[in-house]
Structure 1
Amino acid sequence: VSCDLVNSVTGNEDEAVKLYPVLVDGDWGYINQKGEMILEPDYQNARPFHEGLAAIRESWGWKYIDSKGEVKIEGNFSDINNFSGGKAAVRFDGRWGYINKSGNFAINPMFRTASAFSDGRAFVRSIDYSNYYYINENGDKIESVGLPDDIDYIEENQFRNGRAMVSDDDLFGYIDKSGNTIVDLKYAEARPFSNQLAAVKISDRWGFIGDNGEVSISPAFISVGDFGDGLAPARANSNAFGYINKSGEFVISEQFQQAGTFSEERAPVMLNNKWTFIDKSGNQITSAKFDEV
């Protein structure tokens, strides 16, 4: 189940598209912030809106729709990613490339794998499996980003807040865009940065560090998610999730079976084995009735 809701902006990037994908009786549709069904559940699969467009799957492949449900990019791709920085990674004829919002290839399909653009770069793998590397928005290889000698693998392939998560010998740390180690590899488990904080596991509890590795929220949690809109899902000493603020205080009590990241002041939560959405006060926008979000 994917719980990270990331809403998009429209073509002029001024107004968020506040629609959320939900699964109802085996098909996907989209609801608004009030829980009203805006796009009927007619899709085999559906992803959140990003930059005014959402990826949906019908029987003959993936394509992109706008907030009215109108198909904007036909494509019929075999696999697809969300738009980021005006480009989206798509799989065509067994190779990944990047299209623009007109549906034309901005970077030709030449990669075995390809991530979304983040902080002006994307992480790709060569078609012959021989190499991983970063490219810029023109598709050129970024030569200046290398890994320190003691690091084997870029674990989190997208830079967030100028940091990427890396690992070696099952320990995690973070590098900057020049490949410099910013946070030493010392954590058994970790998550990427979000809202200037990253979750790390210290001993058997999760806490959060800031950009330079300082502990911002003491390790007091059994499980956590990423920060969004200043709140993060967390579970301390119960079997249920609530939400903490950047001081590590619960502002929404532990009451949910599962909980996702806030975006546009909404977050997905599970109650009684069904999903709904809450606002930042913890109020449900509709009854818990969705199979997946």
Structure 2
Amino acid sequence: MKSNLNKIFLLTLLAACFSIISYKLPVAKASDTHNTTHESKPNPSVVPTDRNSNNQNNSALVPIQENEKYGYADRTGKIVIPPQFDEARKFSDGLGMVRINNKYGYVAETGKLVIPVKFDDALEFSEGLAAVKVNDKWGYIDRTGNVVVPPQFDEAKHFSEGLGLVGLDGKTASHSHSANSKEPTRKYGYVDRTGKVVIPINLAHAFTFSEGLVQVIIDENPNIPNSGKYGYMDRKGKIVIAPQFGCADPFSEGLARVSINNKNGYIDRTGKFVIPPQFDVAASFSGGLAEVRLGDKSGYIDKTGKFVENPNQPK
């Protein structure tokens, strides 16, 4: 059983390193297979990044599974919180989100249940707040469990750079794939830590902020796939980089991967191309390098766009 537990721990540790959560940002990786005729479009409509939760996940504990129950172990594999939960997420802001039956709460690193399992759904903490669901509505609590933004939204995601991404359902709309299908039209916006709407809830798609900017999609025709263009707006809701890209990633290390005509390049915060669009596949910068593919050539480039030999070699 110890061998199995070690295997489980290793897999869990790897998962934690890649921050596996319930949604993912459609960031192009050099190993991805891309459609050669259409540029990627976010799906679902809310596509938060998990960059912020990574920065706040300083816990030495990682989730483990044993006999269909979840607990936590330290990074040596020693069980610290015995498996007893039906679900357990990585620690963030010093608390781990857990589920017992169909209710969610939060535990401290000691294993003490500090916020009772009473929510219908919940997310990990980010910037000291966590989105929780009560009676089909979402709001936010602080680390003591106090409600700071009452449940009132149809959707809520993590806070990033002081703003929380929220959604509200509007009128129902028919979808072209089914003449009889009608679903609510959900719009998105951003609130501050008091729940005050800072950026109006009228966006068709939404992302989380990174380095003071966030992607927006404008002029999307629901009857034409991938018809929207990406741009960026600031924390006041002002569009500062005009929508013109087929796809765009969050800013990372001062640059953002964007695509035009299915070719990827990198822009700075003014919208100027620093590395012209030329790559078939490209990822965001991390540690001064970005993974790309150009024809048959794959590898890493620096911030000048030059391929780097032996990127893993110590400097």
Give the TM-score category using the shorter length: 0.5 to 0.7
Structure with the higher helix share, 1 or 2? 2
Shift of 1:247: 4.4
Classify 1:241/1:172 alpha carbon distance in 2 versus 1 (closer, same or farther; 3 Å). Answer: same
Q: Whole-Å Cα distance in 1 between the matches of residues 313 and 120 of structure 2?
A: 40
Correspondence list, 1:139-154, <5 A: 139-142=195-198, 145=199, 153=203
Q: Whole-Å Cα distance in 2 between the matches of residues 112 and 247 of structure 1?
A: 43
Letter in 1 for 2:94: G
Classify 1:31/1:203 alpha carbon distance in 2 versus 1 (closer, same or farther; 3 Å). Answer: farther
Q: Whole-Å Cα distance in 2 between the matches of residues 238 and 31 of structure 1?
A: 44
Q: Whole-Å Cα distance in 2 between the matches of residues 22 and 73 of structure 1?
A: 21
Correspondence list, 1:20-169, <5 A: 20-21=62-63, 36=77, 43-126=85-168, 132-142=188-198, 145=199, 153=203, 155-168=205-218, 169=220
**1:183 counterpart residue number:** 241
Summarize deviations over 1:136-173 as a string: whole Å, max 9, x none: 2111222xx469xxxx8363332222212111231111
Shift of 1:242: 6.2
Bigger mean CA offset, 169-178 vs 57-66: 57-66
Letter in 1 for 2:268: G
Identity of matched residues, %: 29
Classify 1:115/1:188 alpha carbon distance in 2 versus 1 (closer, same or farther; 3 Å). Answer: same
**2:16 counterpart residue number:** none
Structure 2's unaligned 5+ residue stretches are: 1-19, 25-49, 172-185, 221-227
Summarize deviations over 1:113-152 as a string: whole Å, max 9, x none: 112222222232336667543222111222xx469xxxx8
Q: Whole-Å Cα distance in 1 between the matches of residues 62 and 304 of structure 2?
A: 29
Q: Whole-Å Cα distance in 1 between the matches of residues 146 and 159 of structure 2?
A: 17
Contact 2:105 2:119 in 1 (8 A): yes
Contact 1:89 1:115 in 2 (8 A): yes
Letter in 2 for 1:17: S
Classify 1:20/1:220 alpha carbon distance in 2 versus 1 (closer, same or farther; 3 Å). Answer: farther
Summarize deviations over 1:44-98 as a string: whole Å, max 9, x none: 4443332222323343332222334443222332221222222111111111010
Structure 1's unaligned 5+ residue stretches are: 11-15, 254-279, 283-293
Q: Whole-Å Cα distance in 1 between the matches of residues 108 and 310 of structure 2?
A: 33
Summarize deviations over 1:178-237 as a string: whole Å, max 9, x none: 3322112111111122333221113323222221112233434443444445455x3415
Letter in 1 for 2:207: N
Contact 2:187 2:205 in 1 (8 A): no
Q: For 2:206, what is the secondary structure of its paired residue?
A: coil
Q: Whole-Å Cα distance in 2 between the matches of residues 81 and 8 of structure 1?
A: 16
Larger Cα Rg: Structure 1 or Structure 2? 2
Q: Whole-Å Cα distance in 2 between the matches of residues 239 and 26 of structure 1?
A: 44
Summarize deviations over 1:250-289 as a string: whole Å, max 9, x none: 5776xxxxxxxxxxxxxxxxxxxxxxxxxx779xxxxxxx
Q: Does 1:7 align with 2:48?
A: no
Aligned length: 243
Bigger mean CA offset, 21-30 vs 99-108: 21-30
Letter in 1 for 2:92: H
Structure 2 length normalisation: TM-score?
0.62
- Root-mean-square deviation over aligned CA pairs: 3.8
Classify 1:127/1:173 alpha carbon distance in 2 versus 1 (closer, same or farther; 3 Å). Answer: closer
Q: For 1:194, what is the secondary structure of its paired residue?
A: coil
Contact 1:245 1:251 in 2 (8 A): no
Classify 1:194/1:72 alpha carbon distance in 2 versus 1 (closer, same or farther; 3 Å). Answer: farther
Q: For 1:7, what is the secondary structure of its paired residue?
A: helix
